[in-house]
Each structure stands twice: as structure tokens, then as C-alpha cells.
């Protein structure tokens, strides 16, 4: 986004400039900026090497002045680790008056291809351009600013082309570019605030992201915040630094607002994975083939700073006493049991799912009940055989077993604390879309398919991953309008069940003969016993029905 102070400079469609190295007289850099990106052409003794940094990889840039008493040093495009001169902010009094150069720093995170696909990762690169064609610093700075403004303009053009037209509607109190970050200090291993401060803030700074940080104090705090805060101030997006449970609160909090529909169309949601499962963060990167595993926080933060969003399906779930909005999964039977009961082994990390699954196989339970569904209608929706190459099944699902909430760092602050309305809990009600299904108490029409009997498991997911290392619905897309329903009935051999559980890490579980995977648009589960989960959280045992809300939300993604 462009700053107010950029007004006096108008961006050029393309810019081109030649730069020289002080130390290497024979080397010339031709740098060209266009809507394709930044083309760096190095010419040395007749040899030409060209590198293009695409604009999608650039997250920000800034102008600086050289620091007083800094070495007089050559400049060049360089990687971040090989700094060769010191610089100070344009407004600092600490500058070197004898150096009239203006420096432009361009921050990019480029994709490094590894020998194997899992080694791909994003790496930080800083391109430094030194402008000193003029005798006066102000003139050089003007040149540098011209480049900066053009880069920002080109970056914002990419963002705007991906936004729905309604994004530009005027509203007197809306703040377009401010992001609300909600951190759960108890997510995962309890390091969400530190992760945000140490890994996310530096990238936000490079990208000029304007944000407020709110640290939750207890469970449901984020849900109350979303219900009561003035979200028009956060048109830049709402980002959780936490796990899927925190985003679940955000989604359900927005659904408790009378203006839920407007808010879901206006606000992009983001997730910086600091939880234990992080199914959605992984699914988003998987959908866009981003190298998540090497650095999940970096990749997810880059999604946010690019400001581009993609539609995400939500699911409306109705139980006897509740309406819940979900973005990840519904479960009954073995996987839900493992998810809930292995919580006490959280300290052993991702192995707890494997260990606990094996334990559950010894005294394998089956559950009586009925599962009904409406098949999704689309030719493309066929479970496929695409599998990841990893081999370990793991589950680091979520439970609320946290303790101290005291903050150690004074640098954190709460956002918009004063804008809370005095809505009491009694006034809280779920708004959100109404159901298109028959009431839960009524029997279903014959257009539904029903399976009855004893089940080992019934589990449904909407994005591809239930957890970082659990590719549960290999064919799922973020907005395919489908609930991917999987069930196994009683009678499966232990060997096949082990094959199923192990295969969940790479998606090969769907090849298990007894496992049925069907894309559906709605489902009803009528359990007689067992445990139900929604997005990994236990809910009361009751009949439940769910329907897809296609593209109901939008999430930051490198679309």
C-alpha cells in the first residue's frame, strides 16, 4: 500500500537504471523495474547474467541514508547476510553528511528449489540500490523514492486485482490497511507471542504492515473480541498467531455479529501457525504448492503481507443445542477418540497420535449409529491417489489444558481495548446463515443416502489437512464446496486399520479397501454412543447435521 507521503511522486510504469560497483570497475548492473518484477542484469567483461525477482516475491522496500563514519563501501545486490555498509533511516540525525547517496532496500523472499521437493524453501533477499547521480542528497533521495513508490504501486496493483469489487466501497470509519493480530499465549508449546515478536514482526516491518496485537487472556476471549470490536478498523485482515482452535473462535465470533455477512465478505482471515495441529495453515500452503514444512511461520506470514486472499468454505453444524461454524473437520469414532484421549500425552509431541492409535487398536471399539449424506454433484470431485511422501502418522490435536496467562513482555499491547461494547453473555446469539436442511428432529427425504450399523470411524474434513502431517482429504480444495466424508464400518481387519492410520500422513489411507471417502454437500450423524469432535474439539454427544457454506470466508494465501 502507498503512504500518504507518496503523493508528491507519481509511479512510473517502468524504471530502468544502470549501477556500478566501486570496487569492480568492469562490472555493471542494469536494473529494470516493470510489472513483471525486478530484472537484475549483471555484466562483467562481456558476460551477462540475469536474475528476475518477481513482484509476488517482493514484500516491501524502504529508503535509507548512509550512517555517519560508516565504511565507504561498494554497493551491490546482495543477500541479507553479506552486508557491506551501514545505513540509517532517512529521518535520523546520525547520517553521514559527506555521503549524498540515497539507498533503496528491497525486501524479497524468493523460492529456492531443492533437489527434492520437500527441500524447497523461501529465503530472504535484500537488494540494495545506491542512488548518487546527483550532487545533492535530496535529489538522490527523490530518485530512490521514485523507485520505492513505483515498487509499492506495482505491488498494490497485484493485491487489488485479487480483491472483490466490494472491497473498495467507501465507509467513513474503515481503516483499509490495518491488521488485527490475535495471539494465544497458550497455543501449542506456549510460544505464540515469542514467535510473533521474533519471526513475524520483522517481516511485518519490512512490509510496512500496520497492526494491532491482542493477546488472549482465556478461552473464548478471541470469540468475544470478534463479536464486540469495531472490525471496520481492521480491513487489512484478522490474523491469529495460534492454532486452529483460535481461528475457530474468530470464525464463530464473527458469526455472532449481526453484520456477519458483510464482515466475512470484507475481512480476510489469516493464520500464523503456532498451535499443535495447524491443519488449516498447512492446507492453505498445500493448495498453492508453497514450501510450508521448512518454515511454516515464514510462509504463512508471507501470505499475510502479500494481502491476497482466496475463498474458504465454511460448514454450518447444528446439534441439539447449538449452531457451530467450522472450517476443518467433524469426527465420530476412532480418530475423535484418539484426538481427545491422547491429549494427556501431549508432552510426547506428534508421536502421541501414533502411540495412542496403536493402543486403541488393542481394545478396538465400534459405535452404533446412522450416517446420512447428500453426495456433492461435480464430475471433478473424485478421491484421488495423490499422496505425500512422508510416512509418519501424527496427531497434535487441541485441548484446553492451559495454565498461567501472565505476559512477560511489556512490548505487547492489546488492540482496541476501549472499543468493547457492553454486550453481556445473555445477549449473545449466533447470527450467520440459516439452514437449508430439514430440521434435525425430522426424518430425512429419500434424496439422502443413509448407512446404518456399527462404525469404527466416521470423519469428515473440508480442507486437505487435519494437521500438519495428516493429509486426510487429498483431493480437497479450499473452496470446492465439499465435505469429504470418510467412514469405516465394523469388520475391518487390524492390519488394514493400521494401514489406514499410517497412510493418513500422506493420503494413501483412502486406498484401504474398507475405507469409503465420498464428497458430500451435507451430512447427518446420529450416534448412539462415542465422542464427537468439531475442528478437533469435543462437543456434546447428540445428533448432528452439517452443510457446506461454499466460499463463505476468505483467507490470506499466495493465490
Residues that bind ligand ATP (CB under 6 A): 184-188, 216-221, 242-246, 249, 275-278, 397-398, 400, 402, 405, 536
In the bound state with ligand ATP, the residue whose beta carbon lies nearer, of 400 and 528, is 400
Residue 220: CB minimum distance to ligand ATP, A: 6
State the Cα torsion 226-227-228-234 to the nearest 10°: 40
Phi, psi of 554 (to 5 degrees): -130, 135
Cα–Cα distance, 231 to 175 (Å, whole number): 9
Residue 219: CB minimum distance to ligand ATP, A: 3
Contact call for residues 396 and 296 (beta carbons, < 8 A): no
Cα 341 to chain center, whole Å?
Answer: 28
Cα–Cα distance, 165 to 266 (Å, whole number): 10
In the bound state with ligand ATP, the residue whose beta carbon lies nearer, of 67 and 191, is 191
Residue 320: CB minimum distance to ligand ATP, A: 22
In the bound state with ligand ATP, the residue whose beta carbon lies nearer, of 242 and 519, is 242
In the bound state with ligand ATP, the residue whose beta carbon lies nearer, of 206 and 395, is 395
In the bound state with ligand ATP, the residue whose beta carbon lies nearer, of 99 and 395, is 395
Helix or strand run (H / E) with residue 146: helix 137-161
In the bound state with ligand ATP, the residue whose beta carbon lies nearer, of 244 and 469, is 244
Contact call for residues 428 and 260 (beta carbons, < 8 A): no
Contact call for residues 524 and 544 (beta carbons, < 8 A): yes
In the bound state with ligand ATP, the residue whose beta carbon lies nearer, of 77 and 188, is 188
Q: Minimal CA–CA distance to 95: which of 104, 103, 105, 106?
A: 103
In the bound state with ligand ATP, the residue whose beta carbon lies nearer, of 108 and 241, is 241
Residue 350: CB minimum distance to ligand ATP, A: 11
Residue number with the smallest Cβ distance to ligand ATP: 243
Q: Are strands 178-183 and 237-242 parallel, antiparallel or unpaired?
A: parallel
Cα–Cα distance, 492 to 505 (Å, whole number): 20
Cα–Cα distance, 190 to 216 (Å, whole number): 12
Residue 297: CB minimum distance to ligand ATP, A: 13
Contact call for residues 33 and 149 (beta carbons, < 8 A): no
Residue 28: CB minimum distance to ligand ATP, A: 51
Q: Minimal CA–CA distance to 210: which of 242, 235, 182, 247?
A: 235
Cα–Cα distance, 127 to 60 (Å, whole number): 11
Residue 212: CB minimum distance to ligand ATP, A: 17
In the bound state with ligand ATP, the residue whose beta carbon lies nearer, of 96 and 337, is 337
Angle subtended by helix axes 221-228 and 244-255, to nearest 10: 30
In the bound state with ligand ATP, the residue whose beta carbon lies nearer, of 402 and 420, is 402
State the Cα torsion 392-398-401-403 to the nearest 10°: 100
Cα–Cα distance, 62 to 439 (Å, whole number): 57
Cα 480 to chain center, whole Å?
Answer: 18
Q: Take residue 285 and report the three cell numbers written for it.
A: 500452503
Residue 222: CB minimum distance to ligand ATP, A: 6
In the bound state with ligand ATP, the residue whose beta carbon lies nearer, of 66 and 187, is 187
DSSP string for residues in 353-416? HHHHHHHHHHT---EEEEEEEEE---TT--------S--------------------TT---SS
Residue 317: CB minimum distance to ligand ATP, A: 16
Residue 273: CB minimum distance to ligand ATP, A: 7
Burial of 116 per CB tally in 10 Å (0-12, 13-18, 19+): exposed
Residue 552: CB minimum distance to ligand ATP, A: 20
Cα–Cα distance, 450 to 523 (Å, whole number): 9
Tell me how crowded residue 555 is: count the other CB atoms within 10 A of its CB. 27
In the bound state with ligand ATP, the residue whose beta carbon lies nearer, of 218 and 322, is 218
Question: Maximum Cα–Cα distance for the chain, whole Å?
Answer: 85
Residue 286: CB minimum distance to ligand ATP, A: 15
Residue 420: CB minimum distance to ligand ATP, A: 17
Cα 511 to chain center, whole Å?
Answer: 29
Coil, strand or helix at 28: strand
In the bound state with ligand ATP, the residue whose beta carbon lies nearer, of 71 and 218, is 218
Amino acid at each position: 500500500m502507498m503512504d500518504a507521503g507518496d503523493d508528491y511522486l507519481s509511479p512510473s510504469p517502468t524504471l530502468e537504471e544502470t549501477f556500478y560497483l566501486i570496487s569492480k570497475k568492469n562490472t555493471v548492473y542494469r536494473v529494470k523495474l516493470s510489472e513483471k518484477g525486478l530484472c537484475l542484469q549483471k555484466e562483467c567483461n562481456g558476460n551477462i547474467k540475469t536474475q528476475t525477482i518477481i513482484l509476488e516475491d517482493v514484500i516491501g522496500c524502504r529508503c535509507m541514508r548512509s550512517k555517519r563514519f560508516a565504511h565507504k563501501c561498494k554497493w551491490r545486490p546482495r543477500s541479507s547476510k553479506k552486508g557491506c555498509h551501514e545505513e540509517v533511516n532517512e529521518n535520523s540525525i546520525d547520517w553521514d553528511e559527506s555521503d549524498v547517496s540515497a539507498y533503496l532496500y528491497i525486501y524479497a523472499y524468493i523460492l529456492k528449489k531443492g533437489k527434492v521437493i520437500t527441500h524447497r524453501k523461501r529465503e530472504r533477499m535484500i537488494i540494495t540500490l545506491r542512488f548518487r547521480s546527483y550532487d545533492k542528497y535530496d535529489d538522490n533521495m527523490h530518485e530512490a523514492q521514485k523507485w520505492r513508490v513505483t515498487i509499492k504501486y506495482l505491488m498494490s496493483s497485484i493485491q487489488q486485482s485479487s480483491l472483490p469489487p466490494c472491497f473498495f466501497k467507501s465507509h467513513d470509519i474503515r481503516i483499509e490497511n490495518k491488521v488485527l493480530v490475535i495471539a494465544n499465549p497458550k497455543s501449542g508449546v506456549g510460544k505464540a507471542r515469542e514467535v510473533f515478536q521474533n519471526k513475524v514482526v520483522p517481516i511485518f516491518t519490512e512490509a510496512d504492515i500496520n497492526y494491532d496485537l491482542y493477546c488472549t487472556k482465556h478461552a473464548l476471549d478471541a470469540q468475544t473480541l470478534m463479536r464486540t470490536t469495531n472490525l471496520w478498523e481492521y480491513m487489512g485482515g484478522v490474523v491469529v498467531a495460534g492454532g486452529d482452535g483460535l481461528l475457530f473462535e474468530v470464525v464463530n465470533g464473527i458469526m455472532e455479529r449481526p453484520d456477519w455477512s458483510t464482515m466475512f465478505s470484507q475481512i480476510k482471515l489469516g493464520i500464523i501457525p503456532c498451535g499443535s495441529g495447524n491443519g488449516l495453515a498447512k492446507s492453505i500452503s498445500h493448495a498453492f504448492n508453497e514450501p510450508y514444512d521448512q518454515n511454516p511461520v515464514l510462509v504463512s506470514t508471507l501470505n499475510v503481507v502479500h494481502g491476497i486472499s482466496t475463498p474458504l468454505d465454511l460448514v454450518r453444524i447444528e446439534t441439539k443445542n447449538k449452531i457451530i461454524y467450522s472450517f476443518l473437520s467433524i469426527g465420530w469414532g476412532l480418530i475423535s477418540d484418539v484426538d481427545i484421549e491422547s491429549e494427556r500425552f501431549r508432552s510426547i509431541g506428534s508421536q502421541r497420535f501414533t502411540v495412542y492409535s496403536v493402543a486403541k487398536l488393542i481394545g478396538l471399539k465400534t459405535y452404533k449409529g446412522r450416517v446420512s449424506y447428500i453426495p456433492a454433484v461435480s464430475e471433478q470431485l473424485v478421491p484421488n491417489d495423490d499422496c505425500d511422501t512422508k510416512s509418519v502418522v501424527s496427531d497434535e490435536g487441541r485441548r484446553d489444558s492451559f495454565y498461567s496467562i501472565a505476559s512477560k513482555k511489556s512490548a505487547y499491547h492489546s488492540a482496541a481495548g476501549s472499543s468493547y461494547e457492553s454486550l453481556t453473555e445473555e445477549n449473545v446469539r449466533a447470527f450467520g446463515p440459516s439452514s437449508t436442511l430439514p430440521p434435525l428432529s425430522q426424518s430425512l427425504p429419500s434424496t439422502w443416502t443413509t448407512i446404518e450399523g456399527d462404525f469404527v470411524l466416521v470423519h469428515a474434513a473440508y480442507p486437505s489437512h487435519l494437521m500438519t502431517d495428516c493429509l486426510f482429504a487429498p483431493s480437497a480444495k479450499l473452496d470446492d464446496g465439499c465435505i469429504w466424508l470418510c467412514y469405516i464400518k465394523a469388520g475391518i481387519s487390524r492390519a488394514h486399520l493400521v494401514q489406514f492410520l499410517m497412510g493418513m500422513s500422506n493420503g494413501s489411507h483412502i486406498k484401504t479397501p474398507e475405507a469409503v471417502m465420498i464428497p458430500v454437500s451435507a451430512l447427518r450423524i446420529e450416534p448412539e454412543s462415542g465422542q464427537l469432535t468439531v475442528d478437533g474439539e469435543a462437543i456434546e454427544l447428540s445428533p448432528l447435521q452439517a452443510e457446506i457454506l461454499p466460499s463463505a470466508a476468505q483467507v490470506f494465501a499466495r493465490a
